[in-house]
Chains A and B, each alone.
Chain A
Amino acid sequence: MNRLRLLLAFLALVTLGASAYAQGSPTIPPERQILVMVKHPPDHFRPGGAYGGGYGDDLLRSARSRLARRIAKAHGLTFVDGWPMPMIGVDCFIMAVPEGRSTETAAQELSTDSKVAWAEPVELYHAEGTPASHNDPLYAAQPAAHAWDLADLHRIATGKGVRVAVIDSGIQANHPDLAGQLIVNRNFVAGQAEKPEDHGTGVAGVIAAKSDNRIGIAGVAPGARLLGLRACWQRGENTLCDGLSLAKAFYFAVQENADVINLSLSGPDSRLLRVLVQTAIDRGSIVVTAYDAATPHGGFPASVPGVIAVADRAFAASSGEVYTAPGHDVPTTQPGGRWFLVNGSSFSAAHVSGLAALVRQRRHSDGLTLVSDRAVGGTIDACATLARAASGCDCSCGGGRMSSARFAH
């Protein structure tokens, strides 16, 4: 009886506590925020940990909060929030810069503070997809079905057991072609409620829409499971993301040991995101991103070594060493349980993330070595790429029988 009373007391406290602090921090536009990184002390034994429930976290939270407020006060800023990232050894504090002062200047000033590892403005990123070309419903015309011999690929691998993180706008988890494909659907955009959006739902469909279900399309890796991480939002026909939401989502993906991380977007360089991307690659994740043809070296994060940058085939002739994959008139899932045609390098990247999931299923510990029609970059040969990973299998793809000799590049 006493235990029942304790349990009821805990539930009452949780309910009251949650409602008392449901409002959260005030919404400050990302363009007035900077990210301040401070070295995070290593996690260690705390005597009070015997009480359970993350007791030691609160001590660290208290210390972090004090330090952040002190730094903010010393530099005339407002402390907004904090986000521990112990995996990369930093605490990320979000601070608001007053009007009349540029975020770049504030970040530079903070970077000279001995207590600060580095600081950077919250940048904006944009998805590398263009709106649907028209409002017609889906035609049975997936480019990958022909260009990549998708059905043949699926005889070798479907991505079963592989976890693909989709860092994008909201995904409609209950879309008929995606239902059951998402094992996580989490929102990292501060001050905005989770909702299904065009770009995220489209990218998710290209990667992992269910196959052989008599509706819609077949994803490149229908056996894979998605971690839907909303770090971007739809504004009109554009999809935007801020650096903080991306960092939070990316951190989560690495922490959850995602096999493949899809970033169908580009934007300005960020040291924090660069560290996170490098950490993901060091930990064995395959990071796939969209190539921005309008920016030198494809923009960021395409320019990070180890990241697989992919462009639509329309850029094949002009973009030098970049890999290309289908990205034009791609039918895919859209909010409202619909399917539309989409265009852009975002969806080329999604194709390669799906291919990476197929490769991961066959060779779990390996990275993704793409086979193409050039020594570096060029049009991806999906069959040869998968065959390389599936060497030794008695299987066929692209009209020919695979052998390790044929595909050993």
Chain B
Amino acid sequence: MTAHAEAGECRARGSRTSFRVRAAVFLLVCSAAAPVSAEVGATASLFSDAQFRGYSLSAGRPVAILDFAYDDPSGFYADAAGTGVLRRGGEPAPLGVQLNGGYANRLKSGTTLDFGITHSSYSHYSQSARGTSYTEVYAGIARGALSSRIFLSPHYFASGHWTAYGEVNGSISPARKWSVDGHVGMLVPLRMPRGARYRRDFDWRIGVSRKAGPVSLHAAWSDGAPDYDVYGGRRHGRSALVIGATWAL
């Protein structure tokens, strides 16, 4: 088992209350962001699964995401996203909230440096029955079609789980309106509570997307180190095909 997969067993108490607070913060951020006169972007998306670093956060269920982003010309930026999951039986339920902020600077050479912090919180409707969350600070570098980042978390889905995650992403456009992207990432546990089981983990993804008017259609195949994912009381393989659509609002 990886640090991520076992996270549900080590949850800090009070996760449900905490999730409601974070959801309220998300709504506050969204309502505050809307009237800003600069660039505020918004998208609505549907995906067949919420895959994250080779694991499903939605227990293999489809998700809907509402995402707001503000990019200041100075380089500061903020994102807020809310995700809902379609439960078995077709009943929608809140899944998670993601907040993110940082600063990016494009150097004269064309290289972009990026620093920020991201926090994600998931309800008990996620793959973890008790809800879960993590916070990460990150630093990244991007040039042309390639970008690389390193993330550090003091509580990666569980209290006291210090982890580092490094990733390399690439994207090319083989034809107009089409893009192909690839991702490889590695999670390294840095410091764990005594008795916690952990090991290094890696994941990869290859995806393709096609723009059609205001809609982008996505398909991505992801997998990771030989291991299994656990949700719905069963083990599942880590390889997953996710399709989705994003509407630019």
Cβ contacts under 8 Å, A65 to chain B: 248
Cβ contacts under 8 Å, B53 to chain A: 50
The answer to whether the Cβ of B51 comes within 8 Å of any Cβ in the partner chain is: yes
Cα of A42 to Cα of B147 in the assembled complex, Å: 12
Q: Which of B48, B169, B183, B247 contacts A6 (CB 8 A)?
A: B48
Query: In chain A, what residue has the closest Cβ to B245?
Result: A13
Q: Mark A39-55, 1 if CB is under 8 A from B, else 0.
A: 10111111111111111
Residues A7 and B241 in contact in the complex (CB < 8 Å), given A53-B179, A63-B71, A255-B144: yes
Residues A52 and B81 in contact in the complex (CB < 8 Å), given A43-B142, A60-B69: no
Cβ contacts under 8 Å, B73 to chain A: 39, 41
Query: In chain A, what residue has the closest Cβ to B213?
Result: A21
Q: Decide: A63 and B39 in contact? CB cutoff 8 A.
A: yes
Query: In chain A, what residue has the closest Cβ to B69?
Result: A59
Q: Mark B205-236, 1 if CB is under 8 A from A, else 0.
A: 11111101101111110100000000000000
The answer to whether the Cβ of B17 comes within 8 Å of any Cβ in the partner chain is: no
Q: Decide: A51 and B116 in contact? CB cutoff 8 A.
A: no
Q: Decide: B75 and A41 in contact? CB cutoff 8 A.
A: yes
Query: In chain A, what residue has the closest Cβ to B149?
Result: A45
The answer to whether the Cβ of B171 comes within 8 Å of any Cβ in the partner chain is: yes
Cα of A404 to Cα of B242 in the assembled complex, Å: 60
The answer to whether the Cβ of B166 comes within 8 Å of any Cβ in the partner chain is: no
Q: Decide: B114 and A44 in contact? CB cutoff 8 A.
A: yes
Nearest Cβ on chain B to A125's Cβ, whole angstroms = 22
Cα of A47 to Cα of B41 in the assembled complex, Å: 14
Q: Decide: A6 and B241 in contact? CB cutoff 8 A.
A: yes
Cβ contacts under 8 Å, B183 to chain A: 52
Query: In chain B, what residue has the closest Cβ to A50?
Result: B52
Q: Decide: B67 and A48 in contact? CB cutoff 8 A.
A: yes
Nearest Cβ on chain A to B189's Cβ, whole angstroms = 20
Query: In chain A, what residue has the closest Cβ to B103?
Result: A44
A-B pairs with CB below 8 Å: how many?
A: 174
The answer to whether the Cβ of B18 comes within 8 Å of any Cβ in the partner chain is: no
Cβ contacts under 8 Å, B216 to chain A: 53-55, 57-58
The answer to whether the Cβ of B186 comes within 8 Å of any Cβ in the partner chain is: no
The answer to whether the Cβ of A14 comes within 8 Å of any Cβ in the partner chain is: yes
The answer to whether the Cβ of B199 comes within 8 Å of any Cβ in the partner chain is: no
Nearest Cβ on chain B to A148's Cβ, whole angstroms = 35
Q: Decide: B181 and A47 in contact? CB cutoff 8 A.
A: no
Cβ contacts under 8 Å, B222 to chain A: 52
Q: Please classify the interface of chain B as helix (H, G, I), strand (E, B), loop, or mixed, using the class held by over half of its residues.
A: strand
Cβ contacts under 8 Å, B77 to chain A: 41, 44
Q: Decide: B147 and A43 in contact? CB cutoff 8 A.
A: yes
Residues A52 and B207 in contact in the complex (CB < 8 Å), given A17-B212, A62-B248, A63-B41: yes
Cβ contacts under 8 Å, B72 to chain A: 41
The answer to whether the Cβ of A337 comes within 8 Å of any Cβ in the partner chain is: no
The answer to whether the Cβ of B42 comes within 8 Å of any Cβ in the partner chain is: yes
Cβ contacts under 8 Å, A137 to chain B: none
Cα of A49 to Cα of B138 in the assembled complex, Å: 14
Within B54-76, the residues touching A (CB, 8 Å) are: 65, 67, 69-73, 75
Cα of A21 to Cα of B247 in the assembled complex, Å: 14
Q: Decide: A64 and B39 in contact? CB cutoff 8 A.
A: yes
Q: Mark A12-23, 1 if CB is under 8 A from B, else 0.
A: 011001101100
Q: Decide: B215 and A17 in contact? CB cutoff 8 A.
A: yes
Cα of A321 to Cα of B74 in the assembled complex, Å: 43
Query: In chain B, what residue has the closest Cβ to A60?
Result: B41
Nearest Cβ on chain A to B231's Cβ, whole angstroms = 15
The answer to whether the Cβ of A141 comes within 8 Å of any Cβ in the partner chain is: no
Cβ contacts under 8 Å, B247 to chain A: 58
Q: Which of A7, A10, A45 contacts B116 (CB 8 A)?
A: A45
Cβ contacts under 8 Å, B248 to chain A: 58-59, 61-62, 65
Nearest Cβ on chain A to B95's Cβ, whole angstroms = 13
The answer to whether the Cβ of A134 comes within 8 Å of any Cβ in the partner chain is: no
Nearest Cβ on chain A to B172's Cβ, whole angstroms = 10
Task: Write 20 A-B pairs (CB below 8 A) sorted by A numbering.
Answer: A6-B48, A13-B245, A42-B75, A42-B112, A44-B112, A44-B114, A44-B142, A46-B69, A48-B65, A51-B51, A51-B242, A52-B205, A52-B209, A53-B217, A54-B171, A54-B179, A56-B69, A63-B71, A65-B248, A67-B39
Interface residues of A (CB under 8 A from B): 3, 6-7, 9-10, 13-14, 17-18, 20-21, 39, 41-67, 86-87, 89, 186, 255, 279, 283
